[in-house]
């Protein structure tokens, strides 16, 4: 019997595994990088072992250090979670060679299916060796890893060499393996997968289907079970193929077989030899705990002859600290408050935790289960709409709008969903009364003697930035209290304002953290009465759009060089992705403040391009949106022929 489990992972999945271990009476051990010293997973574990360093390559990808941590803590089993070393056969062998229990499939099964090139050869599909015009578009993919890293869509032959080079570099950095391959790019399909669970006694469960078609940058955003709209025949066929793959590899434990479904046909993608991020929707539908089953199988236990019966529908949405309207740029800062009620919430954060630059920006997964798909959609959308999320910009509004979009509610979505609909899903929709509520809450109790005068006085003025625009609010202190034109102030306190607008009372919950104010779901920034001249930047300034590390600068780039608008100047690495910083205009590079290895904060000056006269009027301060684009293809080119897990 397993008595103590070390989770060779971090964040949400580590916390989730610990939860099941506590239910089973198993002691828990965490490992943490220096950046994660005070992270939630390190705090909630019974014991924690430090992995010196901050980057994944120094810490969570160091199997030798993790095995030493297991032995030092006296644990007898290792759960790999997802991502990092979860599909590394050498790590699995090292755990077993150390006399420990590996809560995962045999190393031989991992080797057979973890590499996409080997997996495709195993089932008789070979990658493209030579690409011609007739093959376009094609997809360049990393042989190892997942999450969309090391993946590029190529639509022109002239772009192939550059895509191969960039994919190799990203794959080597993310997974320690620079092998990439090329395959046809299939557009307009749905990403459908089958969860399997296999024991050592020959039993394999096919636990329904999941649809994971809503994705950005080849990473899943919304997942559900069962996949809607599949025929009984197609579902049975997918189950048959999944069970066959498990038997072919002598599989044990949890795994997922992935397909691209297009025109009623299923195209095999890969088998992921681990737990998936979206496993909670399967748990909800089948009423099981997949982690508990993993532990039972690792202990030699047997599955029942038949899996439990599926009931109802479940949908999961991933809450990310990112700005979908700005190229899905990851965000950092303090998560002041996170509260989602009425649904299951799996997270690796608590109120007050920092969101750093080293790891994936996923904050939490919200999961709703209901008797029908329509009820599950309504339940999850309502819970997210009412959620309290105070901190960096998130994709919360995008999730709510996606769930309520007609294409999703009718089950007609595919992997190109965000490519078609992103603008309409990310347009600003701030509450027009949020600035007034913020101002009234701030004014509450600030004035002496109640704030009113016998003689008429000038209105109080407050300024806020909301949805990229400046808003000025005017109100007065009177004998009757705070007043504002056009509305009736029913109640005004530091945390709650009630306004009557056109005969309807509306409540506004207000929270302030320094200059950041949150009024219900609307975020505002308090603006000073007078702008700080020192905060201004010269036209053509390139400012860091996010905190990160400069990983490379364009070859030969130096002060005095002529650059063209849109030409890449340097690359930032933030939250597992490389982001290209391009020239905002054609002109001359007059300053360069970036070198490989330099860590920068948001707004740090990276370079200055003095525009030529012909394009001077096109410069946008401080950084044009087009000047910051991710190296990874946009979601419009999402192929979803890749497992989208961390």
Q: Is the dihedral of CA 283, 286, 287, 292 positive or negative?
A: negative
Q: Which fold has domain 113-184?
A: Dna Ligase; domain 1 (3.30.1490)
> Quick one: 409 exposed, middle or buried, by C-beta within 10 A (0-12, 13-18, 19+)?
middle
Interval 251-283: pLDDT, tens? 999 999 999 998 888 888 889 999 999 999 999
- Predicted confidence band at 642 (pLDDT cuts at 50, 70, 90)? very low
Pick the closest to residue 573 from 57, 12, 61 (CA basis): 57
Q: Considering only 19-23, 459-463, 616-620, which range has the smallest mean pLDDT? A: 616-620
pTM attached to this predicted model: 0.81
Mean pLDDT of 421-435: 94
Which pLDDT score, from 0 to 100, does residue 266 have? 87
- Predicted confidence band at 125 (pLDDT cuts at 50, 70, 90)? low
Region of 96 please: left (phi>0), alpha (psi -120 to 50) or beta: alpha
Cis, bond preceding 44 (omega within 30 deg of 0): no
Mean pLDDT of 445-451: 50
CA distances from 524 to 338, 393, 437, 512, 601 (A): 17, 11, 11, 9, 21
558's enclosing H/E stretch is none
Alpha-carbon distance 293 to 326, whole Å? 41
pLDDT(450) > 60: no
Mean pLDDT of 226-239: 96
Q: Considering only 261-275, 408-422, 529-543, 585-599, which range has the smallest mean pLDDT? A: 529-543
**CA of residue 94 relative to chain centroid, distance:** 30
Average pLDDT, the chain: 88
Q: Considering only 158-167, 219-228, 450-459, which range has the smallest mean pLDDT? A: 450-459
pLDDT(338) > 80: yes
- To 10 degrees, what angle do helices 279-286 and 290-298 make? 90
Spatial strand order in the sheet of 138-142? 152-154, 138-142, 180-184
Give 230-242 as a DSSP string: --HHHHHHHHHHH
500: which residues sit within 8 A by CB, 6+ positions away? 487, 488, 490, 506
pLDDT(139) > 60: yes
Q: Which residues are 319's β-sheet partners?
A: 364
pLDDT(626) > 60: no
Which pLDDT score, from 0 to 100, does residue 175 have? 78
Output phi, psi for 180, to 5 deg.
-130, 165
pLDDT greater at residue 636 or residue 427: 427
CATH class given for the domain over 433-527: alpha beta
pLDDT(539) > 80: no
**CA of residue 10 relative to chain centroid, distance:** 15
Mean pLDDT of 297-313: 98
List 62, 217, 274, 296, catalytic entry? 274
Alpha-carbon distance 622 to 161, whole Å? 33
Alpha-carbon distance 234 to 242, whole Å? 12
Which pLDDT score, from 0 to 100, does residue 447 have? 53
Which pLDDT score, from 0 to 100, does residue 247 have? 92
Length of the chain in terms of residues written? 646
Cis, bond preceding 309 (omega within 30 deg of 0): no
- Predicted confidence band at 129 (pLDDT cuts at 50, 70, 90)? confident
- Predicted confidence band at 342 (pLDDT cuts at 50, 70, 90)? very high
- Predicted confidence band at 150 (pLDDT cuts at 50, 70, 90)? confident
Alpha-carbon distance 538 to 546, whole Å? 19
280's enclosing H/E stretch is helix 279-286
Which pLDDT score, from 0 to 100, does residue 487 have? 94
Using the CB atoms, write b or e for 275-307: b if 16+ within 10 Å: bbbbbbbbbbbbebbbbebbbbbbeeeebeeeb
Contact 367, 346 (CB under 8 A): yes
- Predicted confidence band at 124 (pLDDT cuts at 50, 70, 90)? low
Which pLDDT score, from 0 to 100, does residue 79 have? 98
Q: Which residues are 389's β-sheet partners?
A: 338
Contact 302, 203 (CB under 8 A): yes
- The number of C-alpha atoms within 13 Å of 617 and in the hemisphere containing its C-beta is 1
Strand pairing category for 4-7 and 77-79: parallel
Pick the closest to residue 87 from 2, 174, 16, 3 (CA basis): 174
- List, in sequence order, every beta strand (DSSP E) within 400-521: 460-466, 469-478, 481-483, 488-492, 496-501, 504-513, 516-519
Share of the chain above pLDDT 70, in %: 89
pLDDT(346) > 70: yes
pLDDT greater at residue 330 or residue 118: 330
- Predicted confidence band at 632 (pLDDT cuts at 50, 70, 90)? very low
Alpha-carbon distance 92 to 420, whole Å? 41
Alpha-carbon distance 326 to 537, whole Å? 21
**Domains in the chain: boundaries:** 4-103, 113-184, 190-426, 433-527, 541-611
Contact 638, 416 (CB under 8 A): yes
Q: Which fold has domain 190-426?
A: D-amino Acid Aminotransferase; Chain A, domain 1 (3.30.470)
73: which residues sit within 8 A by CB, 6+ positions away? 4, 6, 29, 47, 49
- To 10 degrees, what angle do helices 89-97 and 63-73 make? 30
Mean pLDDT of 563-567: 88
Spatial strand order in the sheet of 488-492? 481-483, 469-478, 460-466, 522-526, 516-519, 504-513, 496-501, 488-492
298's enclosing H/E stretch is helix 290-298
165: which residues sit within 8 A by CB, 6+ positions away? none
Which pLDDT score, from 0 to 100, does residue 146 have? 64
Contact 110, 89 (CB under 8 A): yes
Q: How far apart are the first and last CA of the chain?
A: 30
616's enclosing H/E stretch is none
Known catalytic residue at 274: yes
**CA of residue 173 relative to chain centroid, distance:** 19
**604 SS3 class:** coil
Interval 387-412: pLDDT, tens? 999 999 999 999 999 999 999 999 99
> Quick one: 154 exposed, middle or buried, by C-beta within 10 A (0-12, 13-18, 19+)?
buried
Pick the closest to residue 220 from 272, 179, 273 (CA basis): 272
Contact 181, 193 (CB under 8 A): no
pLDDT greater at residue 288 or residue 596: 288
Mean pLDDT of 73-85: 97
Alpha-carbon distance 47 to 198, whole Å? 30
pLDDT(641) > 90: no
Contact 414, 189 (CB under 8 A): yes
pLDDT(25) > 90: yes
pLDDT greater at residue 522 or residue 622: 522
Which pLDDT score, from 0 to 100, does residue 147 have? 62
- Predicted confidence band at 457 (pLDDT cuts at 50, 70, 90)? low
pLDDT(483) > 80: yes
Pick the closest to residue 369 from 290, 285, 310, 288 (CA basis): 285
Q: Which fold has domain 4-103?
A: Rossmann fold (3.40.50)
Q: Which residues are 323's β-sheet partners?
A: 329
Q: Considering only 174-183, 229-238, 606-615, which range has the smallest mean pLDDT? A: 606-615
541-611 maps to which CATH number?
2.40.50.100
Alpha-carbon distance 371 to 350, whole Å? 31
What is the SS3 string spanning 522-583? EEEEECCCCCCHHHCCCCCEEECCCCEEEEEECCCCCCCCEECCCCEEEEEEECCEEEEEEC
Output phi, psi for 423, to 5 deg.
-55, -45
CA distances from 293 to 205, 519, 634 (A): 11, 43, 37
Which pLDDT score, from 0 to 100, does residue 281 have? 98
Mean pLDDT of 139-159: 84
């Amino acid at each position: 019997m397993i008595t103590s489990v070390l989770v060779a992972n971090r964040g949400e999945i580590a916390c989730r595994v610990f939860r099941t271990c506590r239910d089973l009476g198993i002691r828990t051990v965490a490992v943490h990088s220096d950046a994660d010293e005070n992270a939630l997973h390190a705090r909630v574990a019974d014991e924690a072992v430090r992995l010196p360093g901050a980057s994944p390559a120094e810490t969570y990808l160091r199997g030798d250090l993790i095995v030493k941590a297991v032995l030092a803590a006296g644990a007898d089993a290792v759960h790999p979670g997802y991502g990092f070393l979860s599909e590394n056969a050498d790590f699995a062998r090292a755990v077993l060679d150390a006399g420990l229990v590996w809560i995962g499939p045999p190393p031989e099964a991992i080797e057979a299916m973890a590499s996409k090139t080997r997996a495709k050869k195993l089932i008789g599909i070979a990658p493209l060796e030579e690409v011609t015009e007739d093959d376009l578009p094609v997809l360049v993919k990393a042989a190892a890893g997942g999450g969309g890293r090391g993946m590029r869509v190529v639509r022109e032959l002239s772009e192939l060499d550059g895509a191969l080079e960039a994919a190799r570099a990203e794959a080597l950095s993310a997974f320690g393996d620079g092998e990439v391959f090329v395959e046809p790019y299939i557009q307009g399909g749905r990403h459908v997968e089958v969860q399997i669970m296999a024991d050592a006694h020959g039993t394999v469960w096919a636990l329904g289907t999941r649809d994971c078609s809503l994705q950005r940058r080849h990473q899943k955003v919304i997942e559900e079970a069962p996949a809607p709209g599949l025929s009984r025949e197609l579902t049975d066929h997918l189950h048959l193929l999944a069970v066959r793959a498990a038997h072919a590899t002598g599989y044990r434990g949890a795994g997922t077989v992935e397909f691209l479904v297009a025109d009623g046909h299923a195209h095999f993608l890969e088998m992921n030899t681990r737990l998936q991020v979206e496993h909670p929707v399967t748990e909800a539908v089948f009423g099981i705990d997949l982690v508990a089953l993993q532990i039972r199988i690792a202990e030699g236990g047997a599955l029942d002859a038949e899996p439990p019966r599926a009931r109802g529908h479940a949908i999961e949405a991933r809450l990310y600290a990112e700005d979908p309207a700005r190229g899905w740029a990851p965000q950092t800062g303090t998560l002041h408050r996170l509260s989602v009620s009425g649904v299951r919430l799996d997270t690796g954060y608590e109120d007050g935790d920092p969101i750093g630059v080293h790891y994936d920006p996923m904050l939490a997964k919200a999961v709703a289960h209901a008797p029908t798909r329509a009820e599950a959609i309504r339940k999850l959308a309502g819970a997210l709409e009412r959620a309290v999320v105070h901190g960096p910009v998130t994709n919360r509004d995008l999730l709510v709008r996606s769930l309520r979009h007609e294409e999703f509610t009718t089950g007609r979505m595919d992997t190109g969903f965000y490519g078609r609909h992103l603008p309409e899903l990310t347009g600003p929709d701030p509450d027009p009364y949020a600035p007034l509520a913020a101002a009234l809450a701030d004014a509450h109790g600030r004035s002496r003697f109640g704030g009113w005068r016998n003689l008429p006085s000038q209105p109080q003025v407050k300024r806020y930035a909301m949805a990229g625009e400046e808003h000025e609010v005017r109100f007065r202190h009177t004998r009757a209290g705070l007043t504002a034109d056009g509305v009736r102030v029913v109640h005004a306190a530091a945390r709650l304002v009630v306004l009557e607008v056109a005969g309807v009372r509306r409540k506004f919950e207000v929270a302030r953290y320094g200059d950041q104010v949150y009024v219900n779901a609307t975020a505002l920034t308090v603006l000073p009465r007078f702008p700080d001249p020192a905060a201004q930047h010269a036209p053509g300034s390139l400012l860091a759009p996010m905190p990160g590390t400069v990983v490379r600068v364009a070859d030969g780039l130096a002060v005095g060089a002529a650059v063209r608008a849109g030409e890449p100047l340097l690359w930032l690495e933030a939250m597992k992705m490389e982001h290209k910083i391009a020239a905002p205009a054609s002109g001359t590079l007059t300053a360069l403040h970036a070198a490989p290895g330099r860590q920068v904060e948001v707004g740090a000056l990276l370079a200055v391009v003095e525009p030529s006269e012909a394009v001077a009027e096109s410069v946008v301060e401080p950084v044009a949106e087009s000047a910051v684009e991710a190296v990874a293809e946009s979601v419009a080119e999402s192929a979803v022929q890749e497992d989208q897990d961390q």
